[in-house]
């Protein structure tokens, strides 16, 4: 199926919008197909502020209505317990909220930006998508990440070269309780490294107070060169700061 055909069959859609590469292109393509479209962003402690800021900017530039809903995910003990099912449980709760918002606004079709490269075996949240009846047009139409980036660049979308970004909860190891403190210190650390011009990296918690910095191989020398600056910026929140010698996979 071609994307335009999907939109002809589904001319009114609500979109779970993150401001990332995939969901941004989905908004653009739906707008080009003259769909009646409404974007919904669920803001919780798991999303850094810059993700919301970018989502608002993209929706505004595309002239697509955006609803931002504040969700207190840290009140959900099933999520904060951080079991191996955490992602699935969290996704299910967020999708339930999205469906409520969509239906309150008169939409009976809810879509997300899952693409053809996304592997269900590695993404437990995709089980929730299937159970909740959420459609993934990019996946249905066999569009992979590389193709979406190319199409996004042709469309002039600023997200075309945006690195993948997982929620802050993924920085806390499974089995360790997710707390606001852990999320806040990770967000501060990653914000500082972005300001130092690192890209496509992660700062992971090693309890109780160690930060493990994961970067791609081409950033190792840069990290070594700026070692003291990294310590200065992150040292107030962490007792130890280590560099993972396993090269971060940009995929």
**Beta strand 12-16 with 110-111: parallel, antiparallel or unpaired?**
parallel
Helix (H), strand (E) counts: the chain: 11, 7
List the structure tokens of 218. 């081409």
With beta carbons less than 8 A apart as the criterion, state whether 213 and 243 touch: yes
The stretch 95-119 carries a mean pLDDT of: 96
Tokens 């107030």 locate to 236
Q: Which of 240, 158, 226 is nearest to 192 (CA)?
A: 226
Task: Please provide residue 213's backbone torsions phi and psi, each rounded to the nearest 5 degrees.
Answer: -90, 120
Task: Please provide residue 148's backbone torsions phi and psi, each rounded to the nearest 5 degrees.
Answer: -65, -40
CA–CA gap between residue 194 and residue 201 (Å, rounded): 9
What does the pLDDT look like over 36-81, one tens digit per residue? 999 999 999 999 999 999 999 999 999 999 999 999 999 999 999 9
What does the pLDDT look like over 108-118, one tens digit per residue? 999 999 999 98
On average, the pLDDT of the chain sits at: 95
The stretch 127-141 carries a mean pLDDT of: 96
With beta carbons less than 8 A apart as the criterion, state whether 113 and 145 touch: no
Residue 105 pLDDT class (50, 70, 90 cuts): very high
The stretch 80-100 carries a mean pLDDT of: 96
With beta carbons less than 8 A apart as the criterion, state whether 154 and 167 touch: no
CA–CA gap between residue 209 and residue 194 (Å, rounded): 21
pLDDT of residue 176: 98
Tokens 């800021």 locate to 53
CB neighbours of residue 25 within 10 Å: 24
pTM for the model stands at: 0.94
CA–CA gap between residue 26 and residue 226 (Å, rounded): 38
The stretch 147-167 carries a mean pLDDT of: 95
Query: Is residue 24 over pLDDT 50?
Result: yes
Task: Please provide residue 76's backbone torsions phi and psi, each rounded to the nearest 5 degrees.
Answer: -100, 100
CB neighbours of residue 130 within 10 Å: 10
pLDDT of residue 251: 47
With beta carbons less than 8 A apart as the criterion, state whether 139 and 1 touch: no
pLDDT of residue 239: 97
């Amino acid at each position: 199926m071609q994307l335009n055909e999907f939109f002809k069959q589904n001319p009114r859609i609500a979109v779970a919008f993150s401001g990332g590469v995939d969901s941004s292109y989905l908004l653009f393509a739906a707008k080009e197909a003259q769909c009646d479209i409404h974007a919904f962003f669920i803001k919780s402690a798991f999303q850094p502020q810059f993700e919301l800021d970018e989502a608002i900017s993209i929706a505004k530039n595309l002239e697509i209505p955006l609803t931002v809903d504040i969700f207190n995910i840290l009140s959900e003990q099933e999520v904060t317990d951080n079991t191996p099912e955490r992602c699935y449980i969290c996704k299910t709760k967020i999708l339930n909220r999205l469906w409520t918002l969509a239906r309150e606004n008169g939409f009976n079709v809810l879509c997300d930006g899952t693409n053809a490269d996304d592997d269900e075996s590695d993404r437990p949240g995709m089980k929730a998508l299937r159970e909740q009846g959420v459609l993934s047009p990019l996946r249905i139409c066999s569009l992979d990440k590389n193709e979406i980036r190319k199409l996004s660049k042709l469309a002039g979308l600023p997200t075309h070269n945006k690195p993948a970004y997982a929620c802050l909860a993924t920085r806390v190891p499974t089995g360790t309780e997710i707390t606001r403190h852990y999320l806040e210190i990770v967000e501060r650390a990653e914000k500082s490294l972005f300001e130092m011009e690192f890209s496509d990296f992660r700062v992971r918690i090693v309890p109780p107070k160690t930060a493990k910095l994961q970067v791609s191989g081409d950033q190792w020398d840069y990290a070594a060169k700026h070692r003291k600056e990294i310590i200065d910026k992150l040292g107030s929140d962490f007792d130890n700061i280590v560099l993972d010698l396993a090269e971060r996979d940009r995929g």
